[in-house]
Amino acid sequence: MTHALSTNALSKTYSNGFEALKAVDLKVEKGDFFALLGSNGAGKTTAIGIICGLITPTSGSVEIDGLNQGKNINEVKRKIGLMPQEFNFNPHEPNIEILINQAGYFGINRKEATLRAEVLLKKVNLWDRRLEVPQSLSGGMKRRLMLARALMHNPEILILDEPTAGVDVEIRRSMWRFLKQLNQEGLTIILTTHYLEEAESMCRNIAILNEGEIVAQSSMKALLKKAKHQVLIFECVESLSNSIKIKNCECEVLDAHTLQVTLPESTTISAVITKLLLQNVSVANIRSAQNRLENLFLSLTSKDE
Ligand SMILES: Nc1ncnc2c1ncn2[C@@H]1O[C@H](COP(=O)(O)OP(=O)(O)OP(=O)(O)O)[C@@H](O)[C@H]1O
Ligand SMILES: [Mg+2]
């Protein structure tokens, strides 16, 4: 099957000698919702820049929908919609014009572009602000304007570099719903984010970059299976004594009614509840203390290891 995106031994050494990417092989299936994760400076934006034809790789190649990017740059650009990490619009151009002009670069006539701009501005809750200029928008609004702009030419692949950075909780949720809907309609989505909980709930496949190298690439499900343990907080009805013990688990009494339990993969939550009952403690509520993906991410990218 042809991949939506395939990079082959992609490397980038910047002119100051810094090696930002080291033989990166990324494979993204058509219709995927793919997360590219990595700490600050890991090389995510560099990789995206190369994929979109904005940065020249030092070596290696990129294929988009089976097309060699270097040889088919115009066709490839048409297939990709990019929402960059940094704001990059003319701050004095009216918002709706920014969208219409973007469509113009791809040969879409003004009438059609105006209709599409209306649909998208409404989708990202900026219709009321269409005649204003980006300068008068808040940071989160500018990000939404960039999302609408990325979609103006109906791309096959949407690439989002930290789409929800600085976007408030409510709008972030509505943005994710919108992205999920686009993905269900067949759009391939590739994104970077530092919100790992969101990556975990939204994305099917994932790659983790660390200092320019891929340290993990698999389905989210398979990757999470590798998370060796989970940390759960049990709210208990009875007062807890410090002598609570559960086989194979690490227990820490946080306060009179709150117990933190670190469970290995082999221990089920119901086993913990049973063991607590045997010690005359009943559980009123359970919540996750840490995100599993977050733990795994930290273990894969930790600088001390
Ligand atoms: N033009 C450049 N010249 C020299 N070094 C650069 C240049 N652009 C980026 N770098 C370096 O390359 C590395 C990767 O940067 P990049 O922007 O790709 O990281 P990132 O993973 O997107 O990080 P963030 O999460 O902070 O956005 C960083 O160490 C950065 O300083
Ligand atoms: Mg970046």
Residue pLDDT, tens place only, 50-75:
999 999 999 999 999 999 999 999 99
Q: What fold is seen in the domain 5-225? A: Rossmann fold (3.40.50)
DSSP one-letter string for 35-73: EEE--TTSSHHHHHHHHTTSS--SEEEEEETTEETTT-H
Please tell me the number of Cα atoms within 13 Å of 95 on its side-chain side: 28
Q: How many residues does the chain have?
A: 305
Distance from Cα 54 to the centre of ligand 1, integer Å: 14
pTM: 0.86
Q: Which atom of ligand 1 is nearest to the CA of 43?
A: 18
205 phi and psi, to 5 degrees?
-125, 160
As annotated, the residues of the chain forming the CATH 3.30.70.1560 domain(s) are: 228-301
Q: Which residue has the tokens 């900026």?
A: 126
Q: Which residue has the higher pLDDT, 91 or 187?
A: 187
What confidence tier does 304 reach under pLDDT thresholds 50, 70, 90? low
- In three-state secondary structure terms, 254 is strand
To test the ligand 1 pocket, which listed residue (10, 13, 18) has its Cβ within 8 A of the most ligand atoms?
18
Distance from Cα 212 to the centre of ligand 1, integer Å: 10
140-158 average pLDDT score: 96
Query: Alpha-carbon distance 87 to 75, whole Å?
Result: 25
Q: What fold is seen in the domain 228-301? A: Alpha-Beta Plaits (3.30.70)
Distance from Cα 159 to the centre of ligand 2, integer Å: 12
To test the ligand 1 pocket, which listed residue (46, 83, 86, 162) has its Cβ within 8 A of the most ligand atoms?
46
Q: What is the pLDDT of residues 184-241, one digit of tens each?
A: 999 999 999 998 888 988 999 999 999 999 999 999 988 887 777 788 999 999 999 8
Q: How far is CA 3 from the centre of its chain?
A: 19
8 Å CB contact between 165 and 194: yes
8 Å CB contact between 303 and 251: no
Distance from Cα 304 to the centre of ligand 2, integer Å: 22
Q: Which atom of ligand 1 is nearest to the CA of 212?
A: 14
Where does ligand 1 bind, in terms of residues with CB under 6 Å? Answer: 14, 16, 18, 20, 38, 40-46, 85
The lowest-confidence range among 29-38, 147-156, 281-290 is: 281-290
pLDDT given at position 303: 67
Helix, strand and coil percent figures for the chain, each rounded to 5: 35, 30, 35
As annotated, the residues of the chain forming the CATH 3.40.50.300 domain(s) are: 5-225
pLDDT given at position 196: 85
Asked whether the predicted pLDDT for residue 47 surpasses 90, the reply is yes
* Average pLDDT of every residue of the chain: 93
- In three-state secondary structure terms, 170 is helix
Q: Which residue has the higher pLDDT, 240 or 1?
A: 240
Helix (H) or strand (E) holding 128: none
234: its two tokens: 């049990």
Distance from Cα 169 to the centre of ligand 2, integer Å: 21
To test the ligand 1 pocket, which listed residue (45, 48, 209) has its Cβ within 8 A of the most ligand atoms?
45
Q: Which residue has the higher pLDDT, 289 or 152?
A: 152
